[in-house]
């Protein structure tokens, strides 16, 4: 069934709207023992059509604040849903947080419906119209509490939802998608050529797949891989002015189209700002990550020691990523790339059974409880894995958790379950 995500900052009436949409016949998709009110997804039906509502609300503000956390919600929705409803409180108008969400959603390829909520009567229509300023198209006025406009909204939602849900990335058994990215001259086209070898190993036809002409299908380790957006790599392009800006847009879109990103870094040079920016893009889009240190033929003992220091200093935040040393020139260890991509994708797809996750949670929290907040000890009631690709967890708690403690839990999750090569995300949902 297609998935509808509902996003927006707290208190705009998301839950009221969700309740309104699912009515009383609320059938629970994820049967979460011990938690009766807070849910991640719900079954809904309108005009004989079934869909799932994914409620991404209620995440705890991250260390960087509410704006960032709500913007992340929107990112998550773009990656997983078939349509997105973004809810804004028309009586308040567009806040900075709403603007931050809109900024993310304006580049969404998934259909977005802007809902102006709390329009309880005609007089408030002007307030709703002011939300055109968000650049998300026509605001759709409703009153979730009174039901005003919700029937029409549901019609509109059904229109936006596709007949068949979006292809879950990679689930169809087609070739897995790889983005080969990195700053100019790091060796991307050399590596692609090395991997492809002679033309015979470049596959032009795989039964049942249509290949975007900008992608390359390459057989490696007995499997076909789809290297996305390699057109520019195969044909050397002359860089015009503004090329850097376009290169960066192109890098981002390649990463978004891929499941795993192989970030090439020139091992013979100091790790640069530009390398870090590409890695940050992978982190933000939540793709699996392999760090490939290229030009290894140029690395001597002294440089190797120096590089280790740079990695410790600059790449701490992605220490979960697998590293391979390669040389596109000599062909050294390019075959190591494949197992690294495979392991990372496996982690990216991993789902931890709810029972195991909660046994782990009880033991971990009992050994190291979260710090007090406001003189009270927040209790962590339950955890569930909301999505894979990347693994995303939701903790249900009775109070906010310090960012430090959440990082601690992430470390422990990795120690217990691995996730090598994949980012993981942890959201916190506070029950009132
Ligand atoms: P791209 O811009 O990332 O596609 O980089 P290219 O593949 O065009 O490579 C840039 C330059 O680095 C070329 O002169 C390559 O010959 C050189 N190069 C690429 N890989 C290696 C390598 O592993 N070792 C050495 N020594 N040179 C390399």
Per-residue pLDDT of the chain in tens (432 residues, 90 and over written 9): 788 988 888 888 887 888 888 875 443 333 333 232 334 567 788 888 888 887 765 444 444 567 777 777 787 777 778 899 999 999 999 999 899 999 999 988 889 999 999 999 999 999 999 999 999 999 999 999 899 999 999 999 999 998 776 654 444 457 899 999 999 889 998 898 888 874 444 554 444 444 455 778 888 887 888 898 887 665 444 455 556 666 777 788 889 889 999 999 999 999 999 999 999 999 988 999 999 999 999 999 999 999 999 999 999 999 999 999 999 988 887 788 999 999 999 999 999 999 999 999 999 999 999 988 778 888 898 998 988 899 999 898 888 888 889 999 999 999 999 999 999 998 888 875
Site of tokens 């120096």: 306
Strand order in the sheet with 216-220: 202-203, 216-220, 223-227, 176-181, 260-266, 288-294, 322-325
Paired residues of 425 in beta bridges: 392
Ligand 1 centre and the CA of 189: distance in Å?
Answer: 7
Ligand 1 centre and the CA of 383: distance in Å?
Answer: 46
Can you tell me the ipTM of this complex? Answer: 0.94
Instruction: Check: CB of residue 72 under 8 Å from CB of residue 62.
Output: yes
Roughly how many angstroms between the first and final C-alpha of the chain, as a whole number? Answer: 30
Q: 389, 386, 30, 3: which is closest to 166 by C-alpha?
A: 3
Whole-model pTM?
A: 0.66
Task: For each of the domains in the chain, give its residue range(s) and CATH number, in order of start.
Answer: 3-160 (3.40.50.300), 176-348 (3.40.50.300), 354-430 (3.30.300.20)
Ligand 1 pocket test: which of 181, 182, 190, 327 has the largest number of ligand atoms within 8 Å of its C-beta?
190
- Binding-site residues sit at 8-15, 55-59, 117-120, 182-189, 229-233, 294-297
Ligand 1 centre and the CA of 38: distance in Å?
Answer: 52
Ligand 1 in reach of 189 Cβ (< 6 A) = yes
> d(Cα 371, Cα 373) in Å, to the nearest integer?
7
> d(Cα 304, Cα 298) in Å, to the nearest integer?
10
């Amino acid at each position: 069934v297609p998935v509808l995500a509902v996003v927006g900052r707290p208190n705009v009436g998301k839950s009221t709207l969700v309740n309104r949409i699912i009515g009383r016949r609320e059938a629970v998709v994820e049967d979460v023992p011990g938690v009766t009110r807070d849910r991640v997804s719900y079954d809904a039906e309108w005009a004989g059509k079934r869909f799932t509502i994914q409620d991404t609300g209620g995440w705890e503000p991250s260390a960087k604040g509410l704006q960032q956390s709500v913007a992340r919600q929107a990112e998550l929705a773009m990656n997983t849903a078939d349509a997105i409803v973004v809810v804004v409180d028309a009586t308040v108008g567009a806040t900075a947080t709403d603007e931050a969400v809109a900024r993310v959603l304006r580049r969404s390829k998934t259909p977005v419906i802007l809902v102006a909520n709390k329009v309880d009567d005609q007089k408030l229509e002007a307030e709703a119209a002011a939300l055109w300023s968000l650049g998300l198209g026509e605001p759709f006025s409703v009153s979730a509490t009174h039901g005003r406009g919700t029937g029409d909204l549901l019609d509109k939602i059904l229109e936006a939802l596709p007949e068949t849900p979006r292809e879950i990335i990679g689930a169809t058994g087609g070739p897995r998608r790889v983005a080969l990215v990195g700053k100019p001259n790091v060796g991307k086209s050399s590596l692609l050529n090395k991997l492809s070898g002679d033309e015979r190993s470049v596959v032009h036809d795989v039964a049942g797949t249509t290949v975007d002409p900008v992608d390359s299908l390459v057989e490696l380790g007995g499997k076909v891989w789809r290297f996305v957006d390699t057109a520019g790599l195969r044909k050397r392009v002359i860089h015009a002015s503004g090329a850097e800006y376009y290169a960066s847009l192109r890098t981002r879109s390649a990463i978004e189209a891929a499941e795993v990103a192989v970030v090439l870094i020139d091992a013979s040079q100091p790790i640069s700002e530009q390398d870090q920016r590409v890695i940050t893009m992978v982190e933000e889009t939540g793709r699996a990550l392999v760090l490939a240190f290229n030009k290894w033929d140029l690395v001597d003992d002294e440089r190797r020691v120096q590089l280790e220091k740079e990695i410790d200093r600059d790449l701490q935040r992605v220490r979960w990523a697998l590293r391979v040393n390669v040389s596109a020139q000599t062909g050294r260890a390019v075959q190591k790339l494949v197992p690294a991509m495979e392991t990372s994708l496996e982690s990216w797809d991993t789902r931890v059974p709810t029972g195991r996750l909660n046994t782990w949670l009880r033991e971990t929290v009992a050994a190291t409880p979260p710090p007090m907040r406001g003189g009270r000890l927040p209790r962590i009631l339950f955890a569930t894995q909301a999505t894979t690709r990347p693994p995303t967890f939701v903790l249900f708690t009775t109070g906010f958790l310090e960012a430090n403690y959440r990082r601690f839990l992430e470390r422990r999750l990795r120690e217990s379950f691995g996730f090598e090569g994949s980012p993981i995300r942890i959201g916190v949902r506070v029950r009132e």
